[in-house]
Every structure is written in C-alpha cells, then in structure tokens.
Structure 1
C-alpha cells in the first residue's frame, strides 16, 4: 500500500504473467531416454505402420488368395485346410508330441504357453533401454516366436499345390448360366434338387450340375436310382415330371456352353 497511490498487487515470481500454448515438455536434456508422445513417438509409430500396410497391400495384389468353391460334405477325398494365418497351428498338430494321445498339448497347452509368453514379455524384461540389445529377454522371445511361426507355415504350405487346388474347386460364374423359370421342369427341380445342387445348379451339398455332359435319360436314372453318395428315390414325382426335370437340366447346360 502506498499513500495516495491506491492499492497495488505484488505477483508471485513462480507464476508466469504470460500465457503460453500447450507444448510438450522439452526432453533434450535426457537424450535417448524418453521422448514426447505427441508428436515424436506417435509419428514414428504411424510411419512404421504405414510402411507395413503398404507392403502388405502390395503382397496381396501380387499374390491374391485363391478362392475355392462351396464346401461339399459328400466329397470324402477333399482335405480341408485353414487360412494361411493358421497354417502354423495346423502343421504343429502333425507332430507326434502334439497329436494322438497328446492332442490337448498341441491344441491348448503349447499355443497357450507361446502366446502367454509373448504377452508377458514386456513385463519380464522391463528395462529402461529401448534398443534390442538392452531388452534381450523380450527380443529373444519375439524372435523365437517369429521363426517358429514362419517355419511351420512354410512347411505346411510347401506340401500344397495351391494352383491345382484352386482350379479344381473353381466356382462357375453365375453369368454363364441362364435359368428358365418358365420351363416345366423348373418346379420339379425346386422341389427335389435345389437344396443340394443350388439355385443355379452351381452345387452345394451335392456336386454342380452345370457343365455335365449327361443325357436326359442318364439324369432321369440318377434322380431315381442315385449315384455315389446320393441315395436313391431323391426325386418324388410322376414320370412326366421326371422327364421335364431331366430336360430342364439339359437345357441349362446347353445355355451355358
């Protein structure tokens, strides 16, 4: 207080009188130890993720995954395979210590230990350093897991002829098939055949009928007597309806040629 001068306030020297925008803390005095999350660390992570994503997209364009036809439970010769990212687990189950009497070991115990170890790796090796040689436990476990997955996947995939497999199970494009719903035999096909052979004769639980070179008489015989895994008496109708059904299937095949 000063007489005649009114009241004055004394500011605290620990508080800046100027307002500054929110900026990350300066870590230059601690080089190599830590850094600001935004933008330093986040930018590095984004760049690394972008490089991986672009590389992965290029790989999928250069080597597209082969698509197969619909599953056919009546084909006992077909050997199902998991997608490529599960092939290493599929290959693991071929070894004696992970199959047969030890199937639970291969299905649950070994994968559980492997993935659990990777989850615990950052906690088992929580040193302050970020360089690989400063984190031997975490880096070693990650390299061991990576090498194991790559080797098992390569071993499993090397025994499969992917091109022949895809060609043998190649679905027939719907555009090549013309379905005449006005044909007299279409109603019989819907009642007796569509559940197994598909709405466009493309196959399903039963084989595809498109592309067949069977005659109308052969088709009628098979519909009544069955063939292979197809039981007899699948067709329930009159002789006239049977002839119409056989003619319908032949007509569809002629339109697909």
Structure 2
C-alpha cells in the first residue's frame, strides 16, 4: 500500500489488532454497570468512612472504660492466672481442651490455627466465581461462617469459665511499704520459711496472698499461722509462742 511520497506501510500478521483482547486482561469496570465501581475515590472513600466510625467508637470505649492496671508481674508467682487480651481468648480457650493441651499443645497452638488461617487465606483462590452475593458463594461463605462461629463460641467459653474473682485478687495493686528487715518479727518470718511463699517483701506469690495491709489483728494472724487457711495447710509455723507473737505483731503492723 502506497501513501504519500516514498511512504510504504507493510502489514504484519504477528502484530495483534487493537480490537482483539488478550484472555488474561480483565474487562474494564465500566463494562459492568451497577455491579462494580472505581477504586478511587468511590470504594476507598467508603472504606475510610467505615474505618473512621470504628476508630472513633474504640476511642470512646477506651475513654469510658480504661484498661485496669494490675500489680507488677512477678515471675516467682506460679499461682497467678494469666489472661490474654480479648482477641486471643479463643486460642486461650482452645488450649484448655484435652486434644490441644499437654502433650498435644503443638496441635492446639500451631496445627489447628495454622490450618484455619491457611484455609481463610486460600478461600479466594479456591472459590474464584464472579458472583458477589454471599448466598451464591457457598464455599467461601460457609467457611467464613464456621470460623466466626468457632471464634465466638471459644471466646464466650473462655470468659464464662474464667475465675474472675481470684484473678482480680491476685492482680490487685498493693501499696508499697518499707519493710524493716532488721525487725525481730521479720527474722522469724524468714527463719520459719514464710519467705518462700509470701516473698521477700511480703508481697505474696506462689499462690500465697500478700501480707501487707491485711487488716487482721495479731490474734487472727496467729490463728491462721497455726490452723492454716486456703492453700496454707495447718502446722506450717514451727516456732514457739514468743516467736509467734513477734511475727504476728510485725505482720499486723504492716500497711497501717
């Protein structure tokens, strides 16, 4: 084909026509009126608005109900009942079951969560249908509903079965007091082995309560030392009456 002076256009069959569409190039969103929208600004603006609503709601909750503080963590307190944040309660509850605890902890901590979250990640690749309605995507919808139901159930079970009163008592902040370690009562406290459970500063630990600010009288403390109470069995104190008097007067005077 000749056009102009000295110009020649040669057709090449190896060059695809512009009207032809490659199979791996998706159609433009404008070809689906009413079923899709532009990412910017339509879709992204909606996402920002929803995110802002939830963010403001969470901020209001944190102001109205601030997170309670507990006493400083004590690694020697083996009787303390730990509780993770609310978004990990379902995993915390899962580790309480026989098939996911003890020798099977790896199954509860890694295998089951790994399969669950892995399935959620693979769901879009396994169900690649063009439908956007949840009822017409049974695999993705069913898997998501099952995951949500399991998470809600395990979270509820964790909250319902947790010993909140005991945890509150263990995590209670105790006022610090100066301990006179040269006091005769403290020496008895140390010699009788009370320090092993109640701690060097009488702050409690290993399932034993704090002895600071108990509000008990010396006679009441002496009775507990002989007869025991709670996790403390009777007969722990092996000293004489004079030592018991020094110990109980020392403890009753703490935190006053």
Shift of 1:150: 0.2
What is the Cα deviation at residue 114 of structure 1? 0.4
Partner residue, 1:113: 115
Residue 145 of structure 1: CA displacement?
0.7
Equivalent residue number for residue 168 of structure 1: 169
Residues 148 and 203 (structure 1), Cα distance of their counterparts in 2 relative to 1, 3 Å cut: same
Distance in 2 (CA, whole Å) between partners of 1:156 and 1:198 is: 30
**SS of residue paired to 1:126:** coil
TM-score calculated relative to the size of structure 1? 0.56
Partner of 2:25: none
Q: Does residue 140 of the first structure (1) align with residue 142 of the second (2)?
A: yes
Map Cα deviations across residues 198-220 of structure 1 (whole Å, 9 max, x no partner): 7975445664221233649x79x
Q: RMSD in angstroms over aligned alpha carbons?
A: 4.9
The residue that corresponds to 1:49 in the other structure is 51
How many angstroms apart in 1 are the aligned matches of 2:64 and 2:183? 45
Look up the match of 1:179.
178
Q: Deviations over 1:104-131 (max 9, x none)?
A: 4333322211011111122222344444
Q: C-alpha separation between the residues in 1 aligned to 2:195 and 2:102?
A: 40
Asked if 1:35 is matched to 2:38, the reply is yes
Following TM superposition, by how much is the alpha carbon of 1:95 offset from its aligned partner in structure 2, in angstroms?
A: 4.0
Aligned to 2:77: 73
- In the TM superposition, what whole-angstrom CA distance separates every residue of 1:178-225 from its partner, at most 9, and x where no partner exists? 5388x9649x89xx7999867975445664221233649x79xx8xxx
SS at match of 1:33: coil
SS in 1 for 2:161: coil
Question: What are the ranges of 5 or more consecutive residues in structure 1 without an aligned counterpart?
Answer: 1-25, 233-242
Indicate the residue corresponding to 1:152 in structure 2.
154
TM-aligned CA distance change 1:195 to 1:111, over 3 Å: same
CA contact (8 A) 2:202 2:210 kept: yes
In structure 2, distance between residues paired with 1:84 and 1:201: 32
Runs of 5+ in structure 2 lacking a partner?
Answer: 1-27, 226-230, 237-244
Deviation (angstroms), 1:49: 1.7
> How many pairs were matched up?
212
Deviation at 1:172, TM superposition (A): 3.4
Describe the SS at the equivalent of 2:114: helix
Task: Return closer, same or farther for 1:248/1:151 CA change in 2, 3 Å cut-off.
Answer: same
Cα deviation code 1:43-66 (max 9, x no counterpart): 111122222333444455566655
